[in-house]
Amino acid sequence: MLRNQTKKNLIFWLIVSVCAAPVVLATLTYYVFKPSKLSNYGELIEPPITFDTFTIEEISRPTSESALIDTNASIDSVTSLNALKGRWILAYIAQGDNCAEECKDNLYLTRQVRLMTGKNRFR
């Protein structure tokens, strides 16, 4: 059996190691074991598209029951994307002039993502 003092020392070092282990592992993970390649699961558009020439076309306005109504009155008068500088924008750029059903489906999905942003919806 261990002596009383040895047992106390063992318990002390066990507690210290349990407290220090997350800090040591986090430091090693952050500074030493860096991943070789990062991926954001998206694609960059080459060449980049500037939104200066785009106009906003409203397909349909959400109903009051959908909980997507923006209480910011200035959003109703927006006619270009430059007026939304500093705000989060979920944009869907349609390919071609006629995308009726596909655009409506994608608009629905975009609104679902917007709903998931919760309290940050009006940022």
pLDDT, position 55: 66
CA distances from 69 to 8, 75, 80 (A): 63, 10, 19
pLDDT, position 77: 59
pLDDT, position 64: 52
pLDDT, position 73: 44
pLDDT, position 121: 66
In order along the chain (123 residues), what is the average pLDDT of each group of 10 residues? Answer: 83 96 92 72 72 65 53 56 69 71 80 74 64
What sign results for the dihedral spanned by CA atoms 102, 106, 107, 109? positive
Cβ atoms within 10 A of the Cβ of 103, count?
16
